[in-house]
Amino acid sequence: MAAIEVSGNARSAGAGRMRSRISTRVDMTPMVDLGFLLITFFMLATTMSKPTSMSVFFPEKNTVVDTEPIRASGVLTLFLGNHDAVYYLDGIAATDERAALSLKTTRPGFDLRNVIFAAKKRVAALPREGNDERSLIVVIKPTAVSRYKNMVDAMDEMAITKTQRYALVDQLTEAETKLLGDRIAEKK
């Protein structure tokens, strides 16, 4: 509440008479109470942000689905290595003798995104064979030395580049292990 306080000289001294000063004082206690009530209301009425998660669907292990073989020219294989390195084969199988020369290295982020976009463009330009869809298939293979962050980064790039067909494979074949060689050897 507001209060008016009167202070000054109350005696009259003729011509040199002083005027009394009037000052106001505002009590801020109700305003502080209202502020805390509003803060409490908004804290209780607001929903906190929920953590987001990436949904990955795995097929059942006992179901066998017959599919047509996939051409190696329509596949981009990503090997996740140590120190955030990503090794990739673009359109070449690991068993091919040209694979050792075609194995390239990139980094997660814009570099990997550019590799995926280039592979999509390359696959779209391939001639159609039968009822082939001409869409890129990305195979993500984490190695023993890669970190969980590398796999999440690769999955994020699939979402950013809107790649619809990708697979997460947890084991390397013997040809792939031989191809990567000391690049995936554990550093002690």
The CATH number of residue 79's host domain is 3.30.420
Same-domain status, 9 and 95: no
Q: By three-state DSSP, how is residue 140 classified?
A: strand
Q: By three-state DSSP, how is residue 142 classified?
A: strand
Whether 123 is in a domain gets the answer yes
Same-domain status, 76 and 40: no
Do the beta carbons of residue 182 and residue 103 sit within 8 Å?
no
Same-domain status, 17 and 86: no
β-pair type (2-7, 137-142): unpaired
Residue 99 pLDDT: 74
Same-domain status, 87 and 154: yes
Model pTM above 0.85: no
Residue 4 pLDDT: 63
The tokens 């106001």 sit on which residue? 24
Do the beta carbons of residue 10 and residue 20 sit within 8 Å?
yes
Whether 132 is in a domain gets the answer yes
Count up the domains in the chain and report the number: 2
Whether 58 is in a domain gets the answer no
What residues make up the domain containing 10?
2-45
Whether 66 is in a domain gets the answer no
Residue 37 pLDDT: 93
Whether 61 is in a domain gets the answer no
Residue 188 pLDDT: 39
Residue 167 pLDDT: 86
Same-domain status, 102 and 12: no
The low-confidence residues of the chain, meaning pLDDT below 50, are 187-188
Whether 108 is in a domain gets the answer yes
The Cα 87–Cα 93 span in angstroms is 13
Residue 173 pLDDT: 84
Same-domain status, 180 and 100: yes
Whether 53 is in a domain gets the answer no
Whether 117 is in a domain gets the answer yes
Residue 1 pLDDT: 56
